[in-house]
A and B are shown apart, each in its own frame.
Chain A
Amino acid sequence: MAKLEPKDVRHIAKLARLSLSEEEVEKFSTELTSILDYLDNLQELDTDGVEPTAQVTGQHNSFREDALLPDEKIDPDALLECSPLPITEHQIQTPSAHGSS
């Protein structure tokens, strides 16, 4: 049975770009351990030789022309307008990737 210790929760939270309070870490550690415990019932099943299913459409590659569809002409500025950050020269101005923490 997998047990998610607080240090494991902190690690996966970091991978997922979430910062958790100490109370949240404790709470998720308990909750996720009990959820993972439930999920363990899959291990009783012998799945040797069973093909995994990623999707059920029966379709394989689905191609289309690399061009806008007639009703797809959205004004780029209208999309930029959705951003909560400042817009400079039709670009979103984000905090720096190299800025100090």
Chain B
Amino acid sequence: MSNTLTISSAHEKLRSKKISAVELVQSCIDRIESVDKDINAVVYKNFDAALQQAKKCDEEGVFDHPLTGIPYLTKDVFCEEGVPTTACSNMLRDKDYTPPFHSTTTKRLTDLGAISLGKANTDEFTMGASTETSCYGVTKNPWNLECVAGGSSGGPAAAVAADECLFALGTDTGGSIRQPASFCNCTGLRTTYGRTSRYGVMSMASSLDTIGPLAKNTEDLAIILEAIAGKDPKDGTSGNTPVPKYTDALTGNLKGMTIGLPKEYFIEGIEKDVEEGIRASVKVLEELGATIKEISLPHTQYAASTYYILCPSEVSSNMARYDGIRFGHTTEGINNLNDYYTAVRSEGFGAEVKRRILIGTYALSAGYFDAYYRKAQKVRTLITKDFEDAFASVDAIISPVGPNVSFKIGAHEGDPLAMYLEDVFTIPQVMAGIPALSVPCGFDSNNMPIGLQIMGPQWGEEVVLKVGDAYEKATQWNEKKPNL
């Protein structure tokens, strides 16, 4: 049962030779084989290669780095050399796209001896909040198989929560790590934009996309972030800010800290149990020594609109590369190039991808650019300034991850706007490019997990990890496991 371990505890056992890397990898494989037919978190199994790599780790017998020999899953948008990577889209599934190169993140993890078990489910090209747009079907929530695991990183979140791996990599553009983490009772970190390299990760909205870890506790997130953060010459938008030793920030003591509670996140329509869960968390943080201060982030209500202009605009541009020439789906019997593009794209993309391409193409088209795209870019400035003003007087900000817990599969069918509004509390941070963490903070009356969001200033991952770790050690909500 070593699959239930955290990274830090597995590392101790590997180093003291109480378990082998092969045993650890095999325990995750066994778990996937026994529970994943119900959950559908894993879309590509790379088990033979994983076992081979584990054997090599054991033979070398050096477990100095905490990630050596640790098995993980990546969301199906991270390129791994020789491993099919499809963005859970028929566009790339048709002729399984097998990249001949690694993303910077999977390269760094592989070089440290971490072991990839395969690919985890996502909404198609990460567009969605439930994994219902995946061409492999929805990932079910380990806490209630009739509910969604969230999205778009629903596969990674469900797999971590169900102990199918020790950690997973996800991407967060509008909440895609934090919301599924909160739905499944695991921890997930959206990093500062530019803190982690985007090289080799399929893009959705390039000015908003970030990559980050999902794990069983905050300490593990700190370990992973230390390994994957930092400047990458292959990603011109990655930042030069030095990478601190994040684990050193986890003191468990919040004395002297001021934490902001923004009133705009307690709106009408928020689920009662979610609000109560957050209010109870406030008390815990006070007991840990923090001072709670009510603050205002006045442009919060405009964030979703801003996002659903900027994101589809960037989507319409990024998706242009899928034209059936260099990779992906193809179609027979068409002699004209323009017709070929149109046929390939119409057959390969699902409805949500088409919807966002259409919105973006409209927003960027002649006559509408100023009213939509330019306007949204200006509001983005105002939202960013909200956070700058707030962080002048607080060290961190807390809120619910979302207004509700996980919802029933199909609940938003035929209502794309309702699905978009799942992200209302996870979008403002994206506009400002700041880091935000989701940690488990209790359960609603139906025993579905609730998530606490902890935001920090730009490059302030140390602060959010410190608060998350202290909260988690005091409450241990993250240690609750679903019955499978």
Contact = CB atoms under 8 A, between A and B. Distances in A.
B456 to A, nearest CB: 14
Interface of A: 4, 8-9, 12-13, 15-20, 24, 28, 31-32, 34-36, 38-43, 45, 47, 50-57, 59, 62, 64, 69, 71-72, 74-75, 78-79, 81-85, 92, 94-101
B44 interface: no
5 tightest A-B contacts by CB? A52-B377, A56-B433, A84-B330, A99-B335, A78-B100
B361 A47 contact: no
Given A42-B379, A45-B302, A52-B381, A15 B327 contact: no
Given A12-B365, A84-B95, A42 B100 contact: no
Contacts of A59: 194, 236-237, 239-240
Interface of B: 94-95, 97-101, 107, 193-194, 207, 233-234, 236-237, 239-240, 299, 301-302, 304-306, 308-309, 316, 323-330, 334-343, 345-346, 349, 354-355, 357-359, 361-362, 365, 371-372, 374-382, 384, 416-417, 420, 431-433, 458
A100 B335 contact: yes
B136 to A, nearest CB: 20
Helix, strand, loop or mixed for chain B's interface? helix
Nearest to A31: B416
A22 to B, nearest CB: 14
A81 B343 CA distance: 22
B330 A15 contact: no
Contact of B328 (A19, A40, A84): A84
B239 A57 contact: yes
Contacts of A38: 304-305, 308, 417
Nearest to B380: A53
B335 A95 contact: yes
A18 B359 contact: no
A29 to B, nearest CB: 10
Contacts of A83: 325-327
Contact of A42 (B101, B305, B416): B305
B305 A41 contact: yes
